[in-house]
């Protein structure tokens, strides 16, 4: 995944001069007049989600400091993540911060820049586009110091910050943040590499300050990606940072029954989806994707105990479009048949036969189930129908069906 993200970013990360023109399909360039910034104006870039013009949805916004360098990469990463449902579609705003302005951003000019954001750029974006008032800011190098500072600032402009190769958090800043009336959690992702000798001390200092002064409304993670360098880290930082901010946006997926048990089972899942609902406005219950995952996991791992439990617990998901076919009724019936749960097997075979398509295999399954229950008469009736349908359709399994019929007659 790391290399996929980097390759994607490299392919789309064009030169600064080309990015300024932005006469491309992934963004456009605009100029904003400012009463707060030196020079009185600033370039910014916009990328809208692919379905923006045809929808009425509101979208979260990712603000990228040093947009002249990182805006194309932000677009590429967000589109890659968005296509996998790990994060929602987003509006991307890249803010140009050329030298020498970006060098002094966190120190001499931070108050002016916050005024520019809070009173000029953000109101403009919110007015011009359908924004969700959910904002994340990304900063690298000097922008990294400013992004973490912004997150904890009293203006509360941002819900999340991704700070790559730096970061600024100290006791005074956390103390001020603790005094604010924070209405929802803020998320901070700090990332660096031991190879970045220029800024690693700042990141470590920020992490120590966060450890020493925990706050219930500040959710954070400090990560070291030591294979990366000062220049390569920002792409991966943005990729991981977006996933961190939206860590509970996606459905919950499992790769083992043990993982499900260690999570805490159904009560823990209900808690997860309730928190997800409160944060993103999704329906509160466990979603169908997770229900499917657990049913299939138990089936594929041949854990009948959990399969039967999930089939009962999530019986509503069996009414969804995915399972509306003779194919699925037969597969589920066959698994119950394997464990001699004949009545459940008959239930699925019969549904496949009555509601979808009369096939040789569902009649053969019914014959096996009735034979298991000791009802030889019904078993032979269904075996015979299976043979007739298989003969008519030149079914490759005709020999097996005929053999079971013959054995039932002899038995």
Tokens of 328: 């699925």
> With bands split at pLDDT 50, 70 and 90, how would you rate the model's confidence at 19?
very low
Q: Report whether pLDDT(325) > 90.
A: yes
> With bands split at pLDDT 50, 70 and 90, how would you rate the model's confidence at 249?
very high
Q: What whole-number distance in Å separates Cα of residue 152 and Cα of residue 176?
A: 8
CB neighbours of 309 closer than 8 A, spacing ≥ 6? 298
Q: Report whether pLDDT(88) > 60.
A: yes
Per-chain mean pLDDT for the chain: 90
158, 151 Cβ separation under 8 angstroms? yes
Better-predicted residue by pLDDT, 107 or 146: 146
- Read off the pLDDT of each residue in 30-38 and give the average, rounded to a whole number: 92
Q: Report whether pLDDT(9) > 60.
A: no
Residue in 283, 279, 27, 251 with CA at minimum distance from that of residue 132: 279
Q: What whole-number distance in Å separates Cα of residue 38 and Cα of residue 166?
A: 25
Q: 329-340: per-residue pLDDT in tens?
A: 999 999 999 999
Q: Report whether pLDDT(105) > 80.
A: no
CB atoms within 10 A of CB 392: 10
Cis geometry, peptide bond prior to residue 402 (ω within 30 degrees of 0): no
Terminal CA-to-CA distance of the chain, rounded, Å? 58
Strand partners, 187: 160, 219
Q: Report whether pLDDT(181) > 50.
A: yes
Q: 302-318: per-residue pLDDT in tens?
A: 999 999 999 999 999 99
Q: Report whether pLDDT(1) > 60.
A: no
Q: Report whether pLDDT(12) > 70.
A: no
> With bands split at pLDDT 50, 70 and 90, how would you rate the model's confidence at 411?
confident
Helix axis angle, 360-372 to 326-338, nearest 10°: 20
The 3 state secondary structure assigned to the chain is: CHHHHHHHHHHHCCCHHHHHHCCECCEEEEEEECCCCCCCEEEEEEECCCCCCCCCCCEEEEEEECHHHHHHHHHHHHHHHHHCCCCCCCEEEEECCCCCHHHHCCCCCHHHHHHHHHHHHHHHHHHHCCEEEEEEEEEECHHHHHHHHHHHCCCCCCCEEEEECCCCCCHHHHHHHHCCCCCCCEEEEEEECCCCCCCHHHHHHHHHHHHHCCCCCEEEEEEECCCCCCCCHHHHHHHHHHHHHCCCCCCCCCCCHHHHHHHCHHHHHHHHHHHHHHHHCCCCCCCHHHHHHHHHHHHHCCCHHHHHHHHHHCHHHHHCHHHCCHHHHHHHHHHHHHCCCHHHHHHHHHHHHHHCCCCHHHHHHHHHHHHHCCCHHHHHHHHHHHHHHHHHCCCCCHHHHHHHHHHHHHC
pLDDT value at residue 3: 41
- Measured over the CA atoms of residue 202, residue 168, residue 192 and residue 37, the dihedral's sign is negative
Q: 285-305: per-residue pLDDT in tens?
A: 999 999 999 999 999 999 999
């Amino acid at each position: 995944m790391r290399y996929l993200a980097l390759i994607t970013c490299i392919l789309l990360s064009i030169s600064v001069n080309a990015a300024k023109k932005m006469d491309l399909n992934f963004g456009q360039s605009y100029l904003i007049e400012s009463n707060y910034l030196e020079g009185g104006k600033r370039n910014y870039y916009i990328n809208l989600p692919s379905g923006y013009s045809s929808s009425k949805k509101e979208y979260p916004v990712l603000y990228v400091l040093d947009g002249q360098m990182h805006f194309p990469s932000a677009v590429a990463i967000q589109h890659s993540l968005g296509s996998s449902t790990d994060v929602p579609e987003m509006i991307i705003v890249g803010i140009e911060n050329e030298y020498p302005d970006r060098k002094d951003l966190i120190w001499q000019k931070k108050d002016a820049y916050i005024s520019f954001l809070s009173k000029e750029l953000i109101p403009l974006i919110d007015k011009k586009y359908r924004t969700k008032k959910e904002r994340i800011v990304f900063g690298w190098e000097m922008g990294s110091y400013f992004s973490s500072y912004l997150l904890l600032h009293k203006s509360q402009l941002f819900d999340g910050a991704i700070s790559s190769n730096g970061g600024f958090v100290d006791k005074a800043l956390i103390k001020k943040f603790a005094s604010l009336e924070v209405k929802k959690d803020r998320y901070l992702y700090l990332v660096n590499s031991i190879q970045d000798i220029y800024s690693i001390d700042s990141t470590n200092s920020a992490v120590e300050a966060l450890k020493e002064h925990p706050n219930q409304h500040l959710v954070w993670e400090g990560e070291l990606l030591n294979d990366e360098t000062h220049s390569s880290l920002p792409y991966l930082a943005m990729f991981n940072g977006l996933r961190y901010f939206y860590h509970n946006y996606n459905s919950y997926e499992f790769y083992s029954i043990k993982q499900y048990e260690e999570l805490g089972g159904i009560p823990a899942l209900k808690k997860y989806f309730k928190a997800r609902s409160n944060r993103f406005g999704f329906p509160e219950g466990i979603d169908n994707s997770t229900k499917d995952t657990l049913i299939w996991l138990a089936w594929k791992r041949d854990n009948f105990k959990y399969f039967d439990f999930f089939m009962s617990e999530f019986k509503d998901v069996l009414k969804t479009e995915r399972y509306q076919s003779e194919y699925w009724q037969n597969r589920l019936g066959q698994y119950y048949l394997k464990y001699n749960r004949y009545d459940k097997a008959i239930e699925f075979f019969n549904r496949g036969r009555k509601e979808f398509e009369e096939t040789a295999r569902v009649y053969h399954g019914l014959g096996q189930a009735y034979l298991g229950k000791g009802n030889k008469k019904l078993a032979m009736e269904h075996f015979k129908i299976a043979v007739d349908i298989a003969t008519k359709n030149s079914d490759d399994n005709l020999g097996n069906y005929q053999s079971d019929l013959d054995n039932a007659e002899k038995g």
